[in-house]
Structure 1
């Protein structure tokens, strides 16, 4: 990028006007779209932002002869790219008549989270988003020899060094950008497969978990775009004895966090067992390639749980067992899962299913 273009992008604005980047989810359920508009001044409440429309026929969300889809602003984050008072706006999508379009997973999730029984339990989520960085022209993981393989897994997990860690500048830039944006990002680490990383968001309450994961994914897409690297959320980017990518969901309710919570946790896990098939069907496309019972996963067809067991569907931590209260981790969701769908489904199964 020439220095003049760089200077222009970083111009200090001498106007009270701000830029709002409206972000939404496209027709595949995973592609993120965005466009910007100028507003007369700073806004901190999404309800005070104007609704906006887009061409749904170009995102596979509407037919060409009736292509208008309406964006409803739902959550505001500070824009780490434009900075100042400029904002990123997470939106969901509706027909002109006000009905959620079929790919809108936020609207049904918001209904579940606003149910009085769910709201009273204050469901907390901590989501571990794993992802793989790919070389743009080859779609092969960052740091891997083109068409070849690196040394076997072992030294890469939380590793350091030019032969073990690939893409740390992208990962650190993303970490800082999320903190700046106001996302409750709680940590990062290099994963077991080289070129694979993880960030964690949480604890967040209810619908905010989905809003924050989508905002963090969008920021990561933008940073990898600038770096000329491709972001992959494929659950098993490389077949064979290479770890897949998940989005483990750590979860607790007020009853689980209070004294006697361990019994509540065990009952919740039993409810999840009864709904195993329904959850698996909503936990991400291609997850059967990842949940093989190998490489730190449970088999997709069998529900299991255990204390400190990373080969189980659901893991309970040693601290939770010891203290008799706390949280558990659903290890089944794939890296490409929809956080609105997964978090609301866990809340519905464990709180509303009697």
Structure 2
């Protein structure tokens, strides 16, 4: 797992092999990791060996680490706030740092800031200023201390949300009294794929070739089954440190693919927690020299895609008689299937094929304990007559602000016509 344990790529050195010193390596030194590049099928390199990391007393990397780990708290009240926002593609994350005069406890204590929107695909060059509004804060697991990560959304100087600001609309829906009274809970299962840097091929896969078929990798243990566990574990702990409501993690069906779960989260908090967890994961993979992919079908063929299953319940669903409320919600979801699919992630048609634990993108379906349906209801929910539903349609690259608010809107605010409701109920065999 050399790719995982190596420091960030800017610290990786390519050098010729030099004679080793006769002095023994002290416990404080890092071992030099040498990879021969002349093996059959290996990527060609200009040098015979690649030194991934070298650390010695007083060495450059050692001094850099000392500075990165430096605790400035005893010397200043100032903190570093990392302002984070979503870029022009709607899925890329951007961030920059700002010094704040003292520790803060609420985003309202932070100043607004601006950035060059022409460089992120969010504004024209002749009028490029975009304003960041701080919305949520988390502890910074990279800098530690009182330093923070700040989730922001973006507005024009006139205060109008820019087109890629999906949080603003989500906040409006979640502030509606009907939605507030129902206390919507979300549990989001974020799947992702780790790729080798130079070849963009899944971690642990032979370059230009395929591993054995799926089966032993899901929740697997062992060097021939689990690829990237250090990244998953580092991310898990970093999320807990940051204050993210991460509830678990596991290796997925396709080798090199992982999942973590966030929730239960209420309302807009679900989107904030998923976005900040993605940012932390991007930073960890950056340091590990591994590429993070949220593509819903990173490898074509007989391999599982990557989704972002969204578990959802309301107060009425969780109370006695809640199963009938769930059925009514499923009916509404069936009538707005196309609207949801169009908002559930780019490239999702490559994943929702009806195979590999998915439903067809063109057909809405639901079932109890059926992972091949659009909406799955758990056995416990059916047995107890109350609980939650799982929307299995969202892709791994979905915008959680869009998906969570759309679920609330469709099930709590939108009302179908009586005729459409009756036809859908008959088609889905629902008695509501």
**Structure 1 residue aligned with 2:64:** 5
Q: Give runs of aligned pairs for residues 47-196 of structure 1, distance below 5 A.
A: 47-196=108-257
SS in 1 for 2:81: strand
Cα deviation digits, residues 117-157 of structure 1 (max 9, x gap): 00000000000000000000000000000000000000000
In 2: Cα distance, 1:41 partner to 1:192 partner: 46
Segment of structure 1 superposing worse, 1-10 or 182-191: 1-10
For the pair 1:319 / 2:380, whether they are aligned, the reply is yes
In 2: Cα distance, 1:301 partner to 1:240 partner: 20
**Structure 1 residue aligned with 2:423:** none
Cα deviation digits, residues 63-115 of structure 1 (max 9, x gap): 00000000000000000000000000000000000000001000000000000
Tell me how large the CA RMSD over aligned residues is.
0.4
In 2: Cα distance, 1:107 partner to 1:12 partner: 36
In 1: Cα distance, 2:71 partner to 2:396 partner: 38
**Structure 2 residue aligned with 1:34:** 95
In 2: Cα distance, 1:204 partner to 1:229 partner: 29
Deviation at 1:314, TM superposition (A): 0.3
**Structure 2 residue aligned with 1:237:** 298
Deviation at 1:12, TM superposition (A): 1.5
Cα deviation digits, residues 159-184 of structure 1 (max 9, x gap): 00000000000000000000000000
Structure 1: runs of 5 or more not aligned: none
In 1: Cα distance, 2:107 partner to 2:71 partner: 25
Q: Give runs of aligned pairs for residues 257-296 of structure 1, distance below 5 A.
A: 257-296=318-357
Q: Give runs of aligned pairs for residues 187-226 of structure 1, distance below 5 A.
A: 187-226=248-287
**Structure 2 residue aligned with 1:349:** 410
Structure 2: runs of 5 or more not aligned: 1-10, 12-60, 416-432
Which of 1 and 2 has greater Rg?
2
SS in 1 for 2:159: coil
In 2: Cα distance, 1:214 partner to 1:150 partner: 31
SS in 2 for 1:187: strand
Aligned length: 354
Deviation at 1:353, TM superposition (A): 1.1
In 2: Cα distance, 1:278 partner to 1:40 partner: 46
Q: TM-score, normalised by structure 2?
A: 0.82
In 2: Cα distance, 1:144 partner to 1:17 partner: 45
Aligned structure 1 segments of 4 or more residues deviating by more than 3 angstroms: none
Deviation at 1:226, TM superposition (A): 0.1
SS in 1 for 2:65: helix
Deviation at 1:44, TM superposition (A): 1.0
Q: TM-score, normalised by structure 1?
A: 1.00
